[in-house]
Structures are given as structure tokens and as C-alpha cells.
Amino acid sequence: MHRGTLCLTFDFDAISLWISRNMITPTPVSRGEFGAFAIPRLLNLLETRGISSTWFIPGHTIETYPSLCREVVAAGHEVALHGYAHENAGTLSEAEERDMFRRAYDLIGELTGAPPRGNRTPAWDLTAHTLAILEELQVDYDSSLMSTDYTPFYARTGDEIPGDGPTRFGRATNLVEIPVSWSLDDYPHFEYLRGVLPGFRAVEDVYHNWLLDLQYMVRDFDRGVAVVTFHPQAIGRGHRLIGLEEWLDAVGEFPLTYARLDAVARGFRSGEALGMYDPPQGSHR
């Protein structure tokens, strides 16, 4: 089997997730509050297993829960951009989007003592201006797109997609894209949102699928990179944490190392060949 990298990432949205949905009555807000309540148990799990991870934290969360965010930093985890109040960037003007990024960028710099190196857009949706704004901020990587599964690449900007002709691809930016997937995100599997998300999937089913993704990566990709996304308010529930612990035990059987996304981006920029398709000879698929 090939060796690979597993990146555990956490979107610490807290109350901002519900602000972005205009759901600020007490019960949805309390669901965001549970995300904060679960932080100590998640940090304990990561410390116990010696895992470094990347946390995407909205500016609103940094201002609302500063002590918890400082604990994330003190534990050695990376903090990267995730909007200010989990905004849907598609609803913002270019100026509003730029102001939002700058505000969040400054808050992370104050929290960590260094500028953020990465970004994940809320709901994983970019505008025509997002990558240019990130380049202006000299961010190294983004983790919002789904063009590949185990292979980092340089994100493009300026694509033209007419309805009556072929797509015209734009230029490659200097932003490393570390791909994600909805299937490797806990939220759509576990969280309930009336009329939108059924949630409540059995943990055994979800974690089994994730194991199969890793099994395929180490079999068919040389130095593949897999990114799994967690939300404290979803993964922090007891049965899901027990499932996560058991999943990590099973992951330990694979030839994988854990890494923060900033380390993956540095390696890719330095010329490391990551996520190269190299299936075994004679395998049947």
C-alpha cells in the first residue's frame, strides 16, 4: 500500500452558523452553543492521540469565545479563515466580501500572533472575487473545492461557463487547493435541519464509508491527501465521539500520517508530488 496523509479539520462555527441562516431564536442558538461546550472534549481527544489539526474559525466565534479559541491555539492546532459570521459570500458585493475577509484575517492574526495561511469559505462556495482577495491577503491555500479527492492543485480563477458552449478555464492562481468533499463532512450526515437535512445517520455507516475512502486512497494513490471535516456541534455528541475514537483506531491500521493543512500546502509548494494516481497492477475495478 502507498503511504498517505490524513488531515482532520474542524469548522468551529458555533452561533455564527445560525446567524447566517437567520435562525437566532434560543433553540438554534443553543445548538451553536453546544459546539463551544464540546471543544474541551475534542481537544482532549486530539491531545491524547497526538494529532495536530486545522481549525477554521469564523471571526464571530473568535470574538464570542476568545478563551476557547486561545485553547485551540495553545494546543498547537492551526487556525484558518472561515468568514466572519459564516456568511454566504454569494450574497455579498465585492467590497463587502473584501471587508469580511479583512476583518476575519485581522482577528485571527490577533488570536494567533501570525497571519492565517489558509481559508475555507462557509458552505464551500466561492465568488468570482474570492481567490483574488485571498491572493491580496497572501494566503497560501484554500480548502473549499472538490475537483479532485486526494490530489492538491493550484486553484483557478476567471473561468467562463457559457450555457451554449464549452467551458473556458481561467488562470491558475498561486493558491494551493486542498480538496474537500460533502461525503467526508460530518454535518450533512449527522445534523438535522427541518426540510433541508434529515441527519441522524448511524455512525457505523458514516465511518465505514470514510474508511473505504482511505482504503482506496492508500491502495491507488501515492502520497494521497484526504481531508475530513468536522463541526464541534455535530461530532461532539457522545455516540459520535465514541464512533470517532473507534474510527481513529481503525485508521491506525493504514500507512497514514496526520498533518495540518498549512504543512500540506508548504510541501506542495516546495514541489512534493502529492496524490499521484498509481493503481496496483492487475487490480480489478
Q: Is 268 helix (H, G, I), strand (E, B) or coil?
A: helix
**What pLDDT does residue 66 have?**
98
Exposure of 250 by Cβ count < 10 A (0-12 exposed, 13-18 middle, 19+ buried)? middle
State the CATH number of the domain containing residue 141: 3.20.20.370
Which phi and psi angles does 8 have, rounded to 5°?
-90, 125
285 is a domain residue? no
What is residue 281's predicted lDDT score, i.e. its pLDDT?
85
Query: Which domain range does residue 246 map to?
Result: 4-161+169-277
| Helix (H), strand (E) at residue 87 | none
DSSP one-letter string for 15-74: THHHHTTT--SHHHHHHHHHHHHTHHHHHHHHHHHT---EEE--HHHHHHSHHHHHHHHH
Instruction: State residue 197's pLDDT score.
Output: 81
Per-residue pLDDT at 283: 55
With H, G, I as helix, E, B as strand and everything else as coil, classify residue 263: helix
**How many domains in the chain?**
1
In the structure grid, which three cell numbers stand for residue 30, read together? 443553543
Residues of the chain with pLDDT under 70: 282-285
In eight-state DSSP terms, residue 238 is: H
State pLDDT tens for residues 21-72.
899 999 999 999 999 999 999 999 999 999 999 999 999 999 999 999 999 9
In this structure, what are the phi and psi dihedrals at residue 154, rounded to the nearest 5 degrees?
Answer: -90, 125
Burial of 123 from C-beta contacts in 10 A (0-12 / 13-18 / 19+): middle
Tell me the CB-side half-sphere exposure of residue 35, using CA atoms within 13 A: 27
Residue 282 lies in a domain: no
What is the per-residue pLDDT for 282?
A: 63
